[in-house]
Structure 1
């Protein structure tokens, strides 16, 4: 039996939203269960990851809960929820793809022939900057980066190993990659920076 059938819809949606705006937990639970399957199925088709789809649900419904009185101005809550869920799912997809591309190209630095770069020491400097940058990451960001990109762990596996949420792993990875980008920018030759930044 789907989640949306677990609790009957007790209110018309405009009244339901009004009660959620008043911080009525039962009303929120009803709305949550009504749209759980809809959000999950859409998100999973896009992300191909159950934990990421669950994250989309949590963040979408948290957004609804935090809207307060603004909910009363929504005429079509289903369309609104689908829009929020779609945006969050696409954001997660882009984040995952960007992280994978950044890592791929950072690793490719060590394989680029020196003849393709003006300065023969550029590769050495870039590799050193990357190594130093990883060492300067906050502990949990460094652990996440090393697990996911140096040891090949999936985000969910890293989350389980570190006893943190899947979303926290993604946040740490985003912050780690942002820091490494800035660190390499400050410590590497402009040619290798241009090579890396094509993919950021």
Structure 2
């Protein structure tokens, strides 16, 4: 009379629950390759697949009394393995997301810092250019561009015609563009032109 595979499995599990290393070795040798292949297919990493094999069989070794409740060992091992693989994938996704957020935040703050420094340098350079303008052009630029007055309002303030204000403004802008272009590189010049 032959013994059924399920009966053999149940006997092996009983022996494992009693800390029988020979029985554990039999189960390990029989299912190790199946668990490894399953893990490797999910994780795409031989190293992680090996870890999952070790963790899966360690869980079986530590179960003791609960092993008596297992009726089909292979699907049970595959379920443990799958759950451990999913844990690894979740942890990896979480770590990647966290790294991406940190990298993105660092890049954004790093870029903002660079932009602030560049903008401050540009404003300093622009201010130096304004200081070099002839008196009338400087006054028109300050009234119209810095204080936001219209040409007519600046003309009334300076006691000159709106057409003269417009002419002074055009000359001031031309002078500032030349000054800025001779004192900055191309990237800064493009930012300056937006400011002007």
TM-score normalised to the size of structure 2?
Answer: 0.51
Instruction: Please give the per-residue CA displacement for 1:86-113, whole angstroms capped at 9, x wherever unaligned.
Output: 0001100111121112111101102337
Tell me which residue corresponds to 2:45: 49
Q: How does 1:56-95 map to 2 (within 5 A)?
A: 56-95=52-91
Structure 1 residue ranges without an equivalent (≥5) = 1-8, 121-200
Per-residue CA distance 1:147-198 (angstroms, 9 max, x = gap) = xxxxxxxxxxxxxxxxxxxxxxxxxxxxxxxxxxxxxxxxxxxxxxxxxxxx
Equivalent in the alignment of 1:12: 8
* SS at structure 2 position matched to 1:112: helix
Cα separation, 2, equivalents of 1:99 and 1:61:
26
Q: How far did 1:72 drift?
A: 1.2
SS at match of 2:19: coil
In the alignment, the residues of structure 1 paired with residue 29 and residue 52 of structure 2 have an alpha-carbon distance, to the nearest angstrom, of 14
Task: Say if 1:17 and 1:112 are closer, same or farther in 2 by CA, change over 3 A.
Answer: same
Indicate the structure (1 or 2) with the bigger Cα radius of gyration: 2
Structure 2: where are the runs of 5+ without partners?
A: 117-196
What is the Cα deviation at residue 75 of structure 1?
0.7
Aligned to 2:20: 24
Q: What is the aligned counterpart of 2:104 among 102, 105, 108?
A: 108
Measured in 2, the distance between the counterparts of 1:79 and 1:101 equals 32
User: Could you tell me the TM-score, scaled by structure 1's length?
Assistant: 0.50
* Aligned residue pair count: 108
- Runs (4 or more) in structure 1 with deviation over 2 Å come to 110-114
Once superposed, what is the RMSD of the aligned Cα atoms? 2.3
Give the 3-state SS of the residue equivalent to 1:12 in structure 2. helix
State the match for 2:128 in structure 1: none
**What do residues 96-131 of structure 1 show as CA deviations (whole Å, max 9, x unaligned)?**
1211121111011023379x9xxx9xxxxxxxxxxx
